[in-house]
Amino acid sequence: MAEPTKVFLDEDDIPTHWYNIVADFPTAPPPHLHPGTKEPLQPGDLAALFPTGLIAQEASVERWIEIPEKVREIYKLWRPAPLHRARRLEAALGTTAKIYYKYEGESPVGSHKTNSAVPQAYYNALEGRMRLTTETGAGQWGSALAFATQIFGQTCDVWQVRNTYEGKPYRRMLMETFGATVTPSPSDRTEAGRALQARFPDTPGSLGMAISEAVEEAAKDPGASYALGSVLNHVVVHQSVIGLEALKQLDKFGEKAPDFLFACAGGGSNLAGIAFPFLRENIAGRASTRIVACEPAAAPSLTQGEYRYDFGDASGMTPLLKMYTLGSEFVPDPVHAGGLRYHGMAPLVSHAYHEGLLEAIAVKQRAAFAAGVEFARAEGIVPASESCHAIAGALDEARRATVEGTSPVILIGVSGSGQLDLPAYSEFLSGNMLDA
Ligand SMILES: *Cc1c(COP(=O)(O)O)cnc(C)c1O
């Protein structure tokens, strides 16, 4: 019988529990700190921003956290997500490596972000928090939260980085289609936004600035919560469904753990989501997968940042997080079209990197898009500009294997679809893309 090209799971195979790597780390990750006292954060400190269900997950040391039945039922709209063997890509490369990819682009908004948006909306709704505020860069997270909140009858108020609000209108339209209100950041609607505009006139905006606005707005409104699409522990926990499914699917392909796992890293959530279940195998001594975080050279927090406590936003309103950071006032070069612009990296990913449990590389944007185009032409899927960074890392490894005559198993996390990133592809194809 011919070998399969992709493996599906049944709906019953959607994980019943999220995986929390904190239970398995050899050393405990540093706690978040209160921005005023610099003491470890107490659960109550977050009550103005998050519902207790999510606060408990943020501090949880339990290995398995049950996924509420209602959330699993909504996950069925797009999960389990397929795992593909990239046979046509292997043939196009003429590589001796075996390449697999887990594709998250079939979700309602075309990325992994819905995996966390739905439970975040759910836990808020349980506690009667019917308005959510958030930030978004390219609009992937904002559209995921816009989709999730309307399921539970909540309203959604999104601050979008001004540069992308103006330059990439389609995801704003998607957010509005799902019923969200979208405001370019920095805006006049908040004190933080007005102060940032006074300090940085004509700023293109940044995720850190938009976070400040969304946090301020949520803190002012007792019926509102703030929602973050990456970085925090509870988001990382939600994304573990990706890797838990991929483990089962690789097994169905007859593979044990991959030799290499490549995923792109902005705030770290899709990387953690696919990688931490495999890292658990490494820690337990059952596997030795090399996990490689692929970040953009234009926002290289792991490879160039410092490991220290820093704010999650640009105005110092969020808790202090121990992470690899470029500084909370970091604004990436506006020529950078590849997404992944955040100044810091998820504390759990940062801890794993600091402990030597994963590796990181920085990829320039032309190399990323070149890899994305090769992938698209072979596999028929145009990957999200973010995902292109992971593909670039994987293709380099496949080429190295071919030269060395080895046949490693390479797993790529393809975090989303690039259908709304086509202007960036077009810029690349026309030869006009500057190399940031
Ligand atoms: C948001 C996003 C990312 C970056 O965020 P992480 O938290 O690092 O995963 C990567 N890929 C896609 C498709 C995204 O939407």
> pLDDT by residue (tens digit) across 63-113?
999 999 999 999 999 999 999 999 999 999 999 999 999 999 999 999 999
Q: How far is the CA of 183 from the centre of ligand 1 (A)?
A: 21
Res. 432: pLDDT tops 70 = yes
> If you average pLDDT over every residue of the chain, what do you get?
95
Q: How far is the CA of 404 from the centre of ligand 1 (A)?
A: 32
Report residue 335's pLDDT band, with 50, 70 and 90 as the boundaries. Answer: confident
CA-based radius of gyration for the chain? 20
According to the model, what pLDDT value does residue 81 have? Answer: 97
Q: How far is the CA of 192 from the centre of ligand 1 (A)?
A: 25
* Residue owning the nearest CA to atom 15 of ligand 1: 140
- Residue of 415, 420, 421 best suited for mutating to test ligand 1, as the one with most atoms within 8 Å of CB: 415
Percent of the chain with pLDDT over 90: 89
What is the rounded average pLDDT of the residues 385-414?
98
Q: CA-to-CA distance for 326 and 306, rounded, in angstroms?
A: 7
Atom from ligand 1 closest to the CA of residue 387: 11
Res. 337: pLDDT tops 80 = no
What is the rounded average pLDDT of the residues 299-323?
93
> Which residue do the tokens 């019923």 mark?
179
Report residue 317's pLDDT band, with 50, 70 and 90 as the boundaries. Answer: confident
What is the rounded average pLDDT of the residues 313-325?
91
According to the model, what pLDDT value does residue 14 have? Answer: 97
* Residue owning the nearest CA to atom 5 of ligand 1: 266
Report residue 152's pLDDT band, with 50, 70 and 90 as the boundaries. Answer: very high
User: What domains does the chain contain, in order, with CATH numbers?
Assistant: 6-13+78-110+239-429 (3.40.50.1100), 19-41+48-66+112-233 (3.40.50.1100)
Q: How far is the CA of 138 from the centre of ligand 1 (A)?
A: 10
The answer to whether 333 and 356 have CB atoms below 8 angstroms apart is no
Q: How far is the CA of 327 from the centre of ligand 1 (A)?
A: 20
Over residues 178-198, the pLDDT tens digits come to: 999 999 999 999 999 999 999
Q: How far is the CA of 220 from the centre of ligand 1 (A)?
A: 28
- Between 332 and 58, the more confident residue is 58
Over residues 272-305, the pLDDT tens digits come to: 999 999 999 999 999 999 999 999 999 999 999 9
- Residue of 109, 112, 240 best suited for mutating to test ligand 1, as the one with most atoms within 8 Å of CB: 112
Residues with CB under 6 A from ligand 1: 111, 113, 140-141, 230, 264-271, 340, 384, 386-387, 415-416
* Residue owning the nearest CA to atom 13 of ligand 1: 416
Over residues 339-374, the pLDDT tens digits come to: 788 899 999 999 999 999 999 999 999 999 999 999
Q: Indicate the Cα dihedral angle 23, 28, 34, 38, nearest 10°.
A: 170
* Residue owning the nearest CA to atom 4 of ligand 1: 266
According to the model, what pLDDT value does residue 259 have? Answer: 98
Atom from ligand 1 closest to the CA of residue 417: 13
- Residue of 111, 276, 345, 421 best suited for mutating to test ligand 1, as the one with most atoms within 8 Å of CB: 111
What is the rounded average pLDDT of the residues 318-340?
86
Q: How far is the CA of 141 from the centre of ligand 1 (A)?
A: 8
According to the model, what pLDDT value does residue 336 have? Answer: 75
Res. 1: pLDDT tops 70 = no
Q: How far is the CA of 105 from the centre of ligand 1 (A)?
A: 11
Over residues 52-71, the pLDDT tens digits come to: 999 999 999 999 999 999 99
Report residue 8's pLDDT band, with 50, 70 and 90 as the boundaries. Answer: confident
Q: How far is the CA of 117 from the centre of ligand 1 (A)?
A: 13
According to the model, what pLDDT value does residue 258 have? Answer: 98
Over residues 157-172, the pLDDT tens digits come to: 999 999 889 988 999 9
Res. 234: pLDDT tops 70 = yes
Over residues 243-256, the pLDDT tens digits come to: 999 999 999 999 98
